[in-house]
Structure 1
Amino acid sequence: MKTVSIRDAKNRLTELAREVENGETIVITRNGRPILDLVPHQKRGGIDLKAGEAYLKAHGIDRTEGLIADDFDDQLPEDFLIRPSSY
């Protein structure tokens, strides 16, 4: 891991970007204190539905129940926040 001051990083950004592309992590400092890391970009994955299905199957869960009320998206009554709770 390489450490570079923010002033040097500003002047050498292209060079540092090439190093990061090659897998290097670079710590940028201000007044000797770390403020950020330059790291290689990692593509984020989404939800792996097949892995979820495999997990459920491995644990003997053959179906799941999900319930969303029909009025879930309906507007709340105007006095909703000032009404005392009923429970």
Structure 2
Amino acid sequence: MDVSVRELRNHTARVVAAVEAGELIVLTVHGRPVADIVPRQMRSERRASERLLAELEEISAHAAALAVESPGADFDVGLTTDDMVA
């Protein structure tokens, strides 16, 4: 949804409600896009360990079928997943 600065000023509650509903807002000045107003990302969904492991196994099977190889050292950045989202 495109929203002008004037419309944002006059209808702030409506624009905020749209963002809360998950809508991306493009803020415009004289019809020119100048900014995106996006919903704040929530922490990624929690998944049961069994589901996560099954999905990783499926990804591994696809990678093997495509002959894709990714050495583990490529992914060793010295951070935990908690460090990456902080």
Smaller-chain TM-score range? 0.3 to 0.5
The structure with the largest alpha-carbon Rg is 1
TM-score normalised per structure 2: 0.47
Point out the structure with the larger helix share.
Answer: 2
